[in-house]
Amino acid sequence: MNASMTCLGLMEWTSRWLRLWQKNGQGNWRAEILQNQAELFPLTVCYAAQDAGWRRLLGLGWLMGTSPWQVGWPAWKTLGRRPAGALSDFLPDWRPDKLWRIGSRKITSQRLLQLILAPLHSTLRHCPLWGMLLPSYWDEAQFADFTRELHRAGLISGVPVAQDLALACAAWQQHGPWNLALVVDLDDHALVVTQASCREPDVFVQRRLVVPELGRRIWIARLINLCAELSIRLCRQDPRLSRQAFQHLAFELTTVLPRLHQEHFHFQLHVSDFHAEFSLTPELVKQACLQLAQASAKLIKDLLAPHTEVFLSRRLADLPDMIRVVYQTLEHRRPIYVVDETPYLEAAGQLASSAEACAASASSLWRYARVLPDWVKAT
């Protein structure tokens, strides 16, 4: 692709987490290590004026700062102790004119973005241009408004790219040519089924179906219920009754979810008001998630038109038993392709840094993208 601009980094925004990607010296994509030595940055903000007051009183402001706002992992920990004092999972409903309530405080969307970006400043300034991978379930106005607010917050970004559109372009580059495709992806908020078409060299999103009832948080909730049953049976304790235990268990399950249907996992939960150990086997995990996998597969089957290729994102394919259930539901009559993370990021980076795309409106990479032959050969 003609790329007179160089996109050295990607910001992948999902409903609950933010990840920053950059290429290393070998040209491979790697996730940046952020707060708490983690690749994932929680999109969580809390107002902790009481804590700031104590720091000022004890004379520790010079060491710890006196800002009443906590962002990222410090806010995530507060969310486990005081849910009413923190804001999380706000991205699906983000609007530029919306006021958000955090405890007794109200905050504008612009200020919210400024707070989110502040802890990332040292990482962001090392890259001259950041491409934006934005949720597919947003509408076109949210795309434009969010990008505009990021620019006001001082972040120089390339053209925003819808995540399902980047997946479709990567699918075309890997497995094309095809005329029609069903691209299926999810994050914590929702499952998104995208009907895409390709008339070379143009890839179009024809329709998007958003299903919040099948988002990853629902899968995690189902597994938390399984863990609670095991914990009650073995230890006579329910992790759902402890806010901290519930939060830590949800994060642990999110981290190991891609491997749960293949490996045996032993969990140790030790927080101030909860202590328990239990194990999950692949058989128990598959049984607990079977109905969700079947519902997702049935949705794919219902939307599948003749002569349509099926592509699953890697984060969807990694869900327990998903690929097997989809094959079974489609009666093994269709090949199922998985779009891995590397080609997905490569497609997003090329699109976001495209001189042609940057000259167009932001909406051009919400529903439509041009994949030029020289880009395909280059990747």
In percent, how much of the chain has pLDDT > 90?
Answer: 66
Burial of 6 (0-12, 13-18, 19+ CB in 10 A): exposed
Has residue 185 been placed in a domain?
A: no
Measure the CA–CA gap between 79 and 246, rounded to whole angstroms.
11
Write down the pLDDT at residue 6: 55
- Please calculate the CA angle 249-85-57 and round it to the nearest 5 degrees: 115
**Cα distances (Å, whole numbers) of residue 146 to 99, 106, 155, 165:** 15, 19, 11, 18
Taking only the tens place, the pLDDT of each residue in 324-360 is 999 999 998 889 999 999 999 999 998 887 755 444 4
Q: Does residue 194 contact residue 164 with C-beta atoms inside 8 Å?
A: yes
Classify strands 368-370 and 202-211 as parallel, antiparallel or unpaired.
Answer: antiparallel
Range of the domain at 110: 9-163+367-378
Taking only the tens place, the pLDDT of each residue in 235-245 is 899 999 999 99
Q: Does residue 22 contact residue 142 with C-beta atoms inside 8 Å?
A: no
Q: What is the mean pLDDT of the chain?
A: 87
State the alpha helices, DSSP H only, in 138-242. 140-152, 163-175, 216-235
Whether the pLDDT of residue 98 is over 90: the answer is yes
Taking only the tens place, the pLDDT of each residue in 292-308 is 999 999 999 999 999 99
pTM of the model: 0.90
The CATH number assigned to the domain holding 65 equals: 3.30.420.40
Has residue 236 been placed in a domain?
A: no
- For residue 201, what are its two tokens? 């060299």
Whether the pLDDT of residue 224 is over 50: the answer is yes
Has residue 109 been placed in a domain?
A: yes
In percent, how much of the chain has pLDDT > 70?
Answer: 89
Write down the pLDDT at residue 189: 97
Has residue 352 been placed in a domain?
A: no
Q: What's the average model confidence in pLDDT over 196-206?
A: 90
Has residue 174 been placed in a domain?
A: no
Pick the range with the lowest mean pLDDT from 5-19, 207-221, 285-299, 325-339: 5-19
Write down the pLDDT at residue 58: 44
Taking only the tens place, the pLDDT of each residue in 44-96 is 999 976 554 444 444 444 444 557 899 999 999 888 888 888 999 999 999 99
Has residue 76 been placed in a domain?
A: yes
Per-residue pLDDT band for 258 (boundaries 50, 70, 90) equals very high
Taking only the tens place, the pLDDT of each residue in 129-187 is 888 999 999 998 998 899 889 888 888 777 789 999 999 999 999 998 899 999 999 99
Whether the pLDDT of residue 3 is over 80: the answer is no
Write down the pLDDT at residue 66: 59
Q: Does residue 338 contact residue 323 with C-beta atoms inside 8 Å?
A: yes
Q: What's the average model confidence in pLDDT over 98-119?
A: 92
Write down the pLDDT at residue 60: 47
- Please calculate the CA angle 289-327-338 and round it to the nearest 5 degrees: 85
Write down the pLDDT at residue 7: 54
Secondary structure of residue 193 in the 3-state scheme: strand
Amino acid found at 5 = M
Has residue 221 been placed in a domain?
A: no
Q: What's the average model confidence in pLDDT over 312-331?
A: 96
Whether the pLDDT of residue 274 is over 50: the answer is yes
Give me the number of domains the chain comprises.
1
Amino acid found at 33 = I
What are the phi and psi torsion angles at 296 (to 5°)? Answer: -65, -45
Write down the pLDDT at residue 64: 46
Has residue 45 been placed in a domain?
A: yes
**Could you tell me which of 378, 339, 349 has the C-alpha nearest to residue 172?**
339
